[in-house]
């Protein structure tokens, strides 16, 4: 099978998996490219960031129109994620491959723990309290969470952006808990808002890779096309699959990939 | 002022630019990729996006699509700033333009010093 077709299929899988589990797909694309296709880590991160922009902008269009994303909060926190993403992109240019692999393994481990916790705890939406409208402008009647611990949230979003720019992921693994747990926004709003921010964050991080020459267009094109198609397919399938079973399968994959990344970090 | 009146245009503008922009950019990437494959264009490997665009051919078209995709958030922020201005939300206009300026600054910095970092 031609390499391009395999790359497109990998993108399709990552996009579909990501959409069904509410992830950007970057957490799968980087390991697929590095471990499956032997692509250098910095090049895989650049490719992944562009894929994350594609999936985020597509999903954000739906979330914003449906009134699920808090655009005002997303743009405000975007200031932090953008700064973090640029710093991450620059840092990645100086970091040895092994250090990046170790950091990615740590991120995968954190993701696995977070998803496991999600599998064994009841849905948080049930405890979200009365419904809030994230589309209400600032001022009287605006959601109360919007101003809560905002300086902390902006500081935390710099870290989320840094993880995105450095490791080629969407950063949702940091920003969703930040908006949900630190600011107190409902989970549904947190996920949609984080997804909205991801496009800005990944784009800011991607420029460093694009202009530094860390993106191979012939390799990136089939992955982006596959991811875009996969994200659409995943959105269609998401209501029909057992999310808990899918999350369990995903955790197994993530643990395996984390172990491979650790081996790569120690040079085996 | 009834701020709620500002929400429909804001949501509509953002959703439209993101949806159509993503479709257009992905279409350009697909055209470039198919062109490069059919023409049997030799792989150029990794090189800065401006060099790729200057080289032309299918890979150049793909590079234009990739760059266009990453420019979408900037376009979206410009439209959001205009919507906030129309709705009389000066604080959000400043915040939105500030975030947009940060992204543009990262683009300019990457274009100017990118190859050396």
pLDDT tens digits, one per residue of A193-239: 988 999 999 999 999 899 989 999 999 999 999 999 988 888 788 77
User: Which among A62-66, A122-126, B55-59 has the top mean pLDDT?
Assistant: B55-59
CA distance B111 to A51: 20
pLDDT digits (tens, 9 = 90+) for A156-202: 999 999 998 889 888 888 888 888 888 988 888 888 898 899 999 99
Please, are residues A223 and B64 in contact by the beta-carbon 8 Å criterion? Answer: no
User: Which residues from chain A sit within 8 angstroms of residue B15, using beta carbons?
Assistant: 61-62, 64-65
Least confident of A121-125, A160-164, B41-45: A121-125
Q: What is the mean pLDDT of residues B16-39?
A: 94
pLDDT digits (tens, 9 = 90+) for A5-36: 999 999 999 888 887 876 777 888 999 999 99
For chain A, the average pLDDT equals 87
Q: Which residues of A204-228 are buried (b: 16+ CB within 10 A; e: fewer)?
A: bbbbbbbbbbbbbbbbbbbbbbbbb
In this structure, the dihedral spanned by the alpha carbons of residues A220, A95, A159 and A215, taken in order and rounded to 10 degrees, is -10
- Please report how the helices A71-94 and A187-212 are oriented relative to each other, as an axis angle in degrees rounded to 10: 40
Residue B65's nearest CA partner among A69, A9, A137, A220 is A220
**Domain spans of chain B, in order of start:** 3-116
CA distance B53 to B60: 4
CA distance B88 to B86: 5
Contact B61/A at CB under 8 A = no
User: Which residues from chain A sit within 8 angstroms of residue B65, using beta carbons?
Assistant: 221
Per-residue confidence at A49, pLDDT binned at 50, 70, 90? very high
**How many C-beta atoms lie closer than 10 Å to residue B90's C-beta?**
10
Q: Which residue of B has its CA nearest to A75?
A: B96
**At residue B78, does pLDDT exceed 80?**
yes
Task: Calculate how close chain A gets to B36, using CA atoms only, in Å.
Answer: 8
Residue A167's nearest CA partner among A238, A257, A250 is A257
pTM of the predicted protein model = 0.90
Q: What is the mean pLDDT of residues B16-44?
A: 91
Give the whole-number percent of chain A exceeding pLDDT 90: 36
CA A219 to chain CA centroid, Å, is 20
Angle at A29 between CA A219 and CA A71, to 5 degrees: 110
Please report, for residues A27, A76, A109, B58, the alpha-carbon distance to residue A217 in angstroms, rounded to integers and kept in the order given: 20, 32, 30, 10
pLDDT digits (tens, 9 = 90+) for B103-115: 999 999 988 886 6
What is the SS3 assignment for chain B? CCHHHHHHHHHHHHHHHHHHHHHHHHHHHHHHHHHHHHCCCCCCCCCCHHHHHHHCHHHHHHHHHHHHHHHHHHHHHHHHHHHHHHCCCHHHHHHHHHHHHHHHHHHHHHHHHHHHC
- CB pair distance less than 8 Å for A135 and B4: yes
CA distance A31 to A45: 9
- CB pair distance less than 8 Å for B115 and A213: yes
What confidence score (pLDDT) does residue A129 get?
Answer: 62
**At residue A61, does pLDDT exceed 80?**
yes
Alpha helices in A142-186 (DSSP H): 150-167, 172-177
Paired tokens of B78: 């410009």
User: Which residues from chain A sit within 8 angstroms of residue B81, using beta carbons?
Assistant: none
């Amino acid at each position: 099978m031609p390499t391009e077709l395999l790359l497109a299929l990998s993108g399709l899988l990552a996009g579909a998996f990501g959409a069904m589990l509410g992830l950007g797909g970057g957490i799968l694309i980087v390991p697929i490219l590095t471990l499956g296709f032997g692509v250098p880590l910095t090049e895989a991160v650049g490719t992944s960031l562009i894929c994350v922009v594609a999936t985020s902008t597509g999903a954000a269009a739906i979330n914003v129109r449906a009134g699920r994303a808090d655009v005002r909060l997303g743009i405000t926190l975007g200031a932090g994620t953008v700064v973090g993403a640029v710093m991450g992109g620059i840092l990645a240019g100086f970091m040895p491959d092994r250090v990046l692999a170790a950091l990615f393994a740590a991120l995968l481990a954190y993701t696995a723990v977070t998803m496991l916790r999600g599998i064994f705890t009841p849905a948080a939406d049930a405890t979200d309290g009365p419904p809030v409208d994230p589309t209400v402008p600032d001022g009287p009647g605006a959601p109360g969470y919007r101003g809560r611990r905002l300086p902390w949230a902006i500081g935390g979003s710099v870290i989320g952006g840094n993880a995105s720019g450095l490791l080629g992921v969407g950063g949702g693994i940091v920003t969703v808990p930040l908006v949900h747990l630190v600011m107190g926004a409902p989970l549904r709003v947190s996920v949609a808002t984080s997804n909205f921010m991801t496009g800005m964050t990944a784009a800011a991080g991607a420029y460093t890779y694009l202009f530094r020459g860390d993106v191979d267009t012939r390799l990136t094109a089939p992955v982006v096309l596959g991811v875009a198609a996969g994200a659409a397919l995943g959105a269609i399938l998401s209501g029909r699959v057992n999310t808990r079973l899918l999350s369990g399968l995903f955790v197994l994959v993530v643990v395996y990939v984390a172990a491979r990344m650790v081996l790569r970090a120690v040079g085996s | 002022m009834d701020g709620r009146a500002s929400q429909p245009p804001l949501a509509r503008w953002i959703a439209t630019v993101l949806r159509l922009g993503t479709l257009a950019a992905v279409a350009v990437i697909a055209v470039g990729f198919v062109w490069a494959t059919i023409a049997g264009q030799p792989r150029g490997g990794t090189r800065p996006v401006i060099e790729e665009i200057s080289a032309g051919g299918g890979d150049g078209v793909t590079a234009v699509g990739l760059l266009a995709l990453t420019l979408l958030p900037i376009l979206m922020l410009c439209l959001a700033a205009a919507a906030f201005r129309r709705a009389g939300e000066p604080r959000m206009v400043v915040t939105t333009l500030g975030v947009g300026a940060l992204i543009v600054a990262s683009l300019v910095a990457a274009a100017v010093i990118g190859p050396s970092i």
